[in-house]
Chains A and B, each alone.
Chain A
Amino acid sequence: MLKKIWQIFFFIIILSGVAIIQSSFVFNLPAAFSQINLIVIVLVFTLFFFGFRPALYAAVVLGFWLDLFSFYFFGLHILLFLATVIFANWVLSAWLTNRSLYSFLLLIFIATAVYDFALALLFFLSGASLGTFFLWQGSFWLGLFYQVIWSGLAGLLMFNLASALTRRFQPFFLETK
């Protein structure tokens, strides 16, 4: 029981750290680097590695911290992250048959795109974005491109790191006899 409480406590501390790093550090980095989306990467990693339920809890914890800093309506980030995890889980269970690196990367790309579309749509609908519709903005696609690149690199690193530490994943390449 005590071990379980410590695990949850540690889980919350790690996620809180990620949320603070994202909002206070990453967002202020030079243009291309500021597109790194640690939150989505961590959510997909949690979903892939620990399962659906922990990923949902991670979405609530991470969303809570970002909502705390945010001046948009409270719950915006919680809802966005929950929606991203639910969609990613659907893709994982309905479309991806194994837990290979390719599945992991594909899932990260899809989750990043879903998150970006949902966020931009909400900003557009709420009137926060003053420009033209986000799909016609080059900056939106450039941002998404950078996010996909960064997320892919981070995913590659995290998957190999996790593969070295656990046997939960399938082999990297299909074995041929």
Chain B
Amino acid sequence: MIKIKRNNPVVPLLIIAAALFFLHIAGILRPVENFLSYLIKPLAGIFYGASADIKATYNANNSPEDLNAQVERLTKEVAVLTVASSKSLEIEEENRKLRATFNLVTNNNLQAVVANVIAKEAAAEDSLGLVINRGAKDGLIPGLAVVSEEGLIVGKILEVKNATAKICLTTNPNCQLAAAIQNSDKTQGITDGDLGLTIKMSYIPQSEKIAPGDIVITSGLGEYITRGLVIGKISQVYNESNEVWQEATIEPLVDLDNLTVVSILTP
């Protein structure tokens, strides 16, 4: 028979863990969770932004680009930035105002909620998710489209909590989107992520003519996702004569690794 010592520290800790679990399930812990989320969101956003900068710098320095070409490009960039820096204060102020009013701007009867990415969730290798600082209290619900600063769709809302939400990127295998190709046939299909690296479009009939370079957009058949949001560009087509469907690999047109600010299109 197993004897548990009176001063065994594991037992009270397991009781505390169980109590936290049940308080969470019962919703009693929610105010505390909301308060703590609210408290740490700004700090988490700063850390996430810093790591995104490091990642961008690291990736730029590790690309097999010719150094001379890099110097030439940077020289041009310095010239452009010198001009831009004189206007930076003005733009910063303008940006602040735009961000504040962006929530109210409607476009095609849609409202956009701007959010900061604050964390990356520890998850299975092929299904990474990002955590944003907006949640149910901001009107977010699962299925809403998430777009980048350029207006390209980068994913959709997967789950929401009161103050935060989890988004899946278009390269995530769990992130399915109803898509259409901008070709003569207006081909339709479904996209989902491929190993967290690229996007795959499936269920394309063999009779449809698709080619690398075609732009893929959302078809509007999804419940909350409007038609016309750009998903990416076809890079490869897989067309086997003995298969019923053909497939295409799509390259996202935005760097999904360095997302720090996103907009969620609400109905």
Is there a chain A Cβ closer than 8 Å to B227's Cβ?
no
Within 8 A of B (CB), among A65-86: 66, 68-72, 74-75, 78-79, 82, 86
Nearest A residue to B193 by beta-carbon distance?
A130
Contact among B50, B55, B174 for A130, CB-based, below 8 A: B174
Which B residues touch A124, using CB under 8 A?
124
Chain B contact residues: helix, strand, loop or mixed: helix
Contact among A27, A29, A82 for B13, CB-based, below 8 A: A82
A23 touches B44 (CB 8 A): yes
B124 touches A27 (CB 8 A): no
B9 touches A30 (CB 8 A): no
Count A-B pairs with CB separation below 8 Å. Answer: 116
Within 8 A of A (CB), among B1-59: 9-10, 13-14, 16-17, 20-21, 24-25, 33, 36-37, 40, 43-45, 47-48, 50-52, 54-55, 58-59
Which A residues touch B33, using CB under 8 A?
68
Within 8 A of A (CB), among B118-134: 118-127, 129, 131
Interface size on B, residues (CB 8 A): 45
Q: B238: shortest Cβ distance to chain A, in Å?
A: 20
Which B residues touch A56, using CB under 8 A?
9-10, 13
B123 touches A123 (CB 8 A): yes
Which A residues touch B52, using CB under 8 A?
28
**Nearest 8 interchain pairs by C-beta:** A129-B124, A24-B47, A27-B120, A28-B51, A24-B44, A25-B47, A75-B21, A74-B24
